[in-house]
Amino acid sequence: MEKRKIIMDCDPGIDDAIALAYAAAHPEAFELLAVTTVAGNQTIDIVTRNALDLSALYKLNVPVAAGMVEHHTASEFHGENGLGDCTIPRADAEPEKEMAVFYIKRLLTELPEGEKVTLICTAPLTNIGLLLKIYPEVKSKIHE
């Protein structure tokens, strides 16, 4: 089985914590290139911190880039910290300086000829919508 290159665009609440765990549990199937965040289950600061902490907890060793800010969150379902108020160790890592939309664009354009990425989107599609609006040429680098 050939590894599928993936970028996870998520808003780490409880559901995305499980999705990241699945990706971490199957390194033979997935090459996780990056985790990008968008506000949704909680604010952008909280979901980005969750992405960093979960990535460290699962030993994913991938860059995390913060993305778009949404005005509504689902904190009533996912709790104050977005993870059902469960606590996990805080990672030393910091997010990439580049905003998620630009980070994804750069990753896609730097792919070798003929390679494509699968976007796993488990959050509001704000990052992906903006990416395709301002950089429609990257669509050819997205497998699905």
pTM of the model: 0.94
CB-neighbour burial class of residue 112 (10 A; exposed 0-12, middle 13-18, buried 19+)? exposed
Whether the predicted pLDDT of 122 surpasses 80: yes
Amino acid identity, residue 47?
V
Using the predicted structure, report yes or no on whether residue 10 has a pLDDT greater than 80: yes
pLDDT digits (tens, 9 = 90+) for 63-91: 999 999 977 777 777 778 889 889 999 99
- Catalytic amino acids? 11
